[in-house]
Amino acid sequence: MSLYIPGSMDRRHFMRHLAAGSAATVPAFGFLNHLSANADQVRRNEKACILVWLGGGPPTIDMWDLKPGSKNGGEFRPISTKGDLQISEHLPKIAQQMDVLSVVRSMSTREADHTRGRYYMQTAYVPNPTVTHPSFGSVVSHELSSKRKYLEIPAFVSVGGGSGSSGFLGMTHAPFVVDSNGQIRNATQGAVDRRRLDQRLAMWNVVEDGFIKSDRGDLPQAHKDVYGKAVNLMTSQQMQAFQVNKEDPKVIEAYGNNNFGRGMLMARRLVEEGVPFVEVNLGGWDLHSQVFNTLRDQRLPTLDQGISALVQDLKSRGMMNNVTIVCMGEFGRTPRINQDTGRDHWAASWSLLIGGGGLKGGVAVGSTDKDGVAIEGKSYLPGDIWATVCKALGIPLNIVHTSKRGRPMKIANGGNPIEELI
Amino acid sequence: MKKHIAFLLLGLICWSSVATAADKQEGAYRVKFDPAVVAEIDRLIKQGWDDNEVSPSPRAEDVTWLRRVYLDLVGHIPPLSVVEAFLKDSDENKRARIIDELLESRGYVENWTTIWTNELIGRQTPDRVSRNGMQKFLREAFAKNRRWDEVVYDILTAEGHFEENGAVNYLLSQMTMRDEGVQATAKTCRVFLGVQVQCTQCHNHPFNDWKQNQFWEFNSFFRQVRRVDHRRIDPQTGRQVDDYSELLPDNFSGPVYYERRSGLMQVAYPKYFGETVEFDNGESRIKILAESIKGDPNNQLARSMVNRMWGHFFGFGFTRPIDDMGPHNPASHPLLLEYLTEQFVKSEHDLKMLMRWVANSSAYQLSSEFNSKNQIDNPAAGEMPLFSHLYIKPMNAEQLFDSLMVAANADEMSKANYEESSRRRSQWLQQFVTTFGTDENDESTTFNGSIPQALMMMNGELVETATKCEQGSLLHRIVFSNDKDVRKVQQLYLAALCRLPNARDTAAIKKLFQMNSDPNVAYQDLYWALLNSNEFIFIR
**B177-189, pLDDT tens digit by residue?**
777 888 899 999 9
Alpha-carbon span A265 to A306, nearest angstrom: 8
Q: What pLDDT band is residue A266 in, cutting at 50, 70 and 90?
A: very high
Alpha-carbon span B173 to B191, nearest angstrom: 13
Distance from CA of A205 to the nearest CA of B (A): 8
Interchain proximity B533–A55, CB inside 8 Å: no
Least confident of B136-140, B260-264, B424-428, B447-451: B260-264
Q: What pLDDT band is residue A39 in, cutting at 50, 70 and 90?
A: low
Interchain proximity B324–A129, CB inside 8 Å: yes
Does position A130 have pLDDT exceeding 80, yes or no?
A: no
B391 in contact with chain A, both atoms CB, cutoff 8 A = yes
Q: Name every residue whose Cβ is closer than 8 Å to that of residue B87 and which is 6 or more positions away in sequence.
A: B15, B18, B19, B62, B63
Alpha-carbon span B399 to B189, nearest angstrom: 27
B60 in contact with chain A, both atoms CB, cutoff 8 A = no
Q: Name which of A15, A17, A204 to mutate to probe chain B: the one with the most chain B Cβ atoms within 10 A of its Cβ.
A: A204
Residue of A nearest to B511 (CA): A4
- Chain A residues whose CB is inside 8 A of the B329 CB are 129
Does position B6 have pLDDT exceeding 70, yes or no?
A: no
So what's the pLDDT on residue B387?
98
B526 in contact with chain A, both atoms CB, cutoff 8 A = yes
Of A130, A175, A289, the CB nearest to B178: A289
Mean residue pLDDT across chain B = 90
A339 and A401 in a common domain: yes
So what's the pLDDT on residue B508?
97
Least confident of A29-33, A149-153, A324-328, B333-337: A29-33
* Maximum Cα interatomic distance, chain B, rounded to a whole number of Å: 88
DSSP conformation class of B266: E
Domain count, chain A: 2
Q: Is residue A289 part of a domain?
A: no
Does position B402 have pLDDT exceeding 50, yes or no?
A: yes
- Chain B residues whose CB is inside 8 A of the A224 CB are 534
So what's the pLDDT on residue A45?
79
**A175-223, pLDDT tens digit by residue?**
999 988 888 889 887 668 888 999 999 999 999 999 999 999 999 999 9
Does position A30 have pLDDT exceeding 50, yes or no?
A: no
Distance from CA of A166 to the nearest CA of B (A): 10
A197 and A176 in a common domain: no
So what's the pLDDT on residue A351?
98
Range of the domain at A412: 49-184+241-283+294-421
**A110-125, pLDDT tens digit by residue?**
888 888 899 999 999 9
Q: Is residue A251 part of a domain?
A: yes
Interchain proximity A131–B382, CB inside 8 Å: yes
Backbone angles phi, psi at A157, to 5 degrees: -110, 135
Of A234, A253, A270, which closes a domain? A234
Interchain proximity A217–B391, CB inside 8 Å: yes
Q: Is residue A124 part of a domain?
A: yes
Q: Is residue A20 part of a domain?
A: no
Cβ contacts from A onto B, under 8 A: 209
Query: Which one, of A280, A357, A24, lies nearest residue A170 by Cα?
Result: A24
Q: Name which of B436, B447, B500 to mutate to probe chain A: the one with the most chain A Cβ atoms within 10 A of its Cβ.
A: B436
Least confident of B10-14, B31-35, B509-513: B10-14
Q: How many CB atoms lie within 10 A of CB A292?
A: 18
A247 and A352 in a common domain: yes
A170 and A71 in a common domain: yes
Assign residue A359 the CATH number of its domain: 3.40.720
- Chain A residues whose CB is inside 8 A of the B176 CB are none
Q: Name which of A125, A184, A186, A336 to mutate to probe chain B: the one with the most chain B Cβ atoms within 10 A of its Cβ.
A: A186
Q: Is residue A33 part of a domain?
A: no
Q: Name which of B256, B428, B438, B463 to mutate to probe chain A: the one with the most chain A Cβ atoms within 10 A of its Cβ.
A: B438
Mean pLDDT for the stretch of residues A237-243: 93
Distance from CA of A141 to the nearest CA of B (A): 14
Q: Is residue A28 part of a domain?
A: no
Of B434, B442, B512, the CB nearest to A114: B442
A416 and A272 in a common domain: yes
Q: How many CB atoms lie within 10 A of CB B508?
A: 23
Q: How many CB atoms lie within 10 A of CB A215?
A: 15
- Chain B residues whose CB is inside 8 A of the A109 CB are none
Least confident of A8-22, A341-355, B60-74, B162-176: A8-22
- Between vectors from CA B135 to CA B132 and to CA B138, what angle results, nearest 5°? 155
A203 and A62 in a common domain: no
A416 and A399 in a common domain: yes
Alpha-carbon span B527 to B384, nearest angstrom: 38
Mean residue pLDDT across chain A = 88
So what's the pLDDT on residue A405?
74
So what's the pLDDT on residue B427?
87
A252 and A120 in a common domain: yes
Q: What pLDDT band is residue A25 in, cutting at 50, 70 and 90?
A: very low
Interchain proximity B437–A224, CB inside 8 Å: no
Q: Is residue A298 part of a domain?
A: yes
Distance from CA of B530 to the nearest CA of A (A): 7
- Rounded to a whole number of angstroms, the CA Rg of chain A reads 22
Distance from CA of A321 to the nearest CA of B (A): 31
Q: What does pTM read for this prediction?
A: 0.86
A134 and A114 in a common domain: yes
Alpha-carbon span A208 to B535, nearest angstrom: 7
User: Is the sign of the CA dihedral B135, B139, B142, B146 positive or negative?
Assistant: negative
Alpha-carbon span B478 to A257, nearest angstrom: 52
A299 and A329 in a common domain: yes
Alpha-carbon span B508 to A74, nearest angstrom: 70
Distance from CA of A206 to the nearest CA of B (A): 6
**A51-103, pLDDT tens digit by residue?**
999 999 999 999 999 999 999 999 999 999 999 999 999 999 999 999 999 99
β-strands B538-539, B393-394 pairing: antiparallel
Alpha-carbon span B352 to B350, nearest angstrom: 6
Distances (CA, A) of A59 to A143, A160, A217: 33, 21, 44
A206 and A247 in a common domain: no
Cβ atoms of A409 and A402 within 8 Å: the answer is yes
Cβ atoms of B475 and B467 within 8 Å: the answer is yes
Interchain proximity B534–A202, CB inside 8 Å: no
Of A186, A199, A230, the CB nearest to B515: A199
So what's the pLDDT on residue A35?
40
Q: What pLDDT band is residue A9 in, cutting at 50, 70 and 90?
A: very low
Alpha-carbon span B82 to A323, nearest angstrom: 58
- Chain A residues whose CB is inside 8 A of the B538 CB are 211, 216, 219-220, 223
A224 and A82 in a common domain: no
Which regions of B386-432 does DSSP assign to beta strands (E)? Answer: 393-394
Of A165, A200, A234, which closes a domain? A234
Residue of B nearest to A345 (CA): B202
Distances (CA, A) of B461 to A157, A352, B397: 25, 43, 14
Q: What pLDDT band is residue B417 in, cutting at 50, 70 and 90?
A: low
B520 in contact with chain A, both atoms CB, cutoff 8 A = no
- Chain B residues whose CB is inside 8 A of the A344 CB are 202
Cβ atoms of B492 and B527 within 8 Å: the answer is yes
Q: Is residue A123 part of a domain?
A: yes
- Chain A residues whose CB is inside 8 A of the B502 CB are 210
Alpha-carbon span A227 to B482, nearest angstrom: 35
Distance from CA of A171 to the nearest CA of B (A): 6
Distance from CA of A174 to the nearest CA of B (A): 7
